[in-house]
Amino acid sequence: MSYETILYEVTDNIAKITMNLPEMRNPLTKQLTKDLIVAIRTADQDRDVHAIILTGAGKVFSAGGNLNEFKENFEKAVPQLHHEGKESTELFKLGATVKTPIIASVNGPALGGGTGLVAMSHIAIASNKAKLGLTELKLGLVPFVILPWVRRAVGDRRAMELMLTAEIIDAERAKDYELVHRVVPHEELEEETWALAKIVASHSPLAVNLGMDAYFTTEQMDFMKSFDYLSTLRLVSFQSEDLKEGASAFLEKRKPKWQGK
């Protein structure tokens, strides 16, 4: 499949999705949003893909919303705005519905919706040149659909601070706030990202999928009921070919050959 605004490649069971509008600072245009939705779903449904890398072309991860498209919204009716806004909502829901881990490789500034993509990712590794921030209030906007992910990453108090100050923070502070997990020298980002992705992709894809399901499903359940749900998933795991293979490989001191079932 070809895309207008992204680059998509699969290597060693890892899909790399690159937002490819560098001259525009990789803003989340309507087309880029559509392409990201399709690409992430394509990777998630590919049995040969065990991890997804998300990054930006050029010096910027993503500058967030497209101001030119925002201007067009001034003339649109509310029903049309609601309909068009569904795609942005759909994109940011993917972080909680995919079964394949998304690793954000933050190669530069990630602002507004770019920060949302970082917060949505399951692991985030950043260049020491990266900068993040919820800059929407400076433009008279609110970080609506990304707020749940940012709050989830940094906690209520810091999410409120980031939103109300609209401050841009550096990579180390973003790490302190738990917006990103790791910060590496810029020239080492690509290598470190792939090393991390290969570790994730080396695990049983079935176990990873079950783990993702367990994490996000139980998060929305009653605490006591979550134990029953997890017990059911455990039965699935115990009956899997991957568990048999993993146990055998460990005892035989060899690398497992996962079947994903």
Q: Full-prediction pTM beyond 0.75?
A: yes
Q: What is the pLDDT of residue 249?
A: 87
Q: What is the pLDDT of residue 66?
A: 74
Residue ranges of the chain whose pLDDT lies below 70:
69-85
CA distance 140 to 137: 5
Token pair belonging to 152: 């989830």
Query: What was the pLDDT predicted at 96?
Result: 96
pLDDT score, position 83:
57
User: Residue 64, Cβ neighbours under 10 Å: how many?
Assistant: 27
pLDDT confidence of residue 101: 98
Pairing of strands 6-11, 14-19: antiparallel
Q: Which residue ranges form the domains of the chain, and what is each CATH number?
A: 6-201 (3.90.226.10), 205-252 (1.10.12)
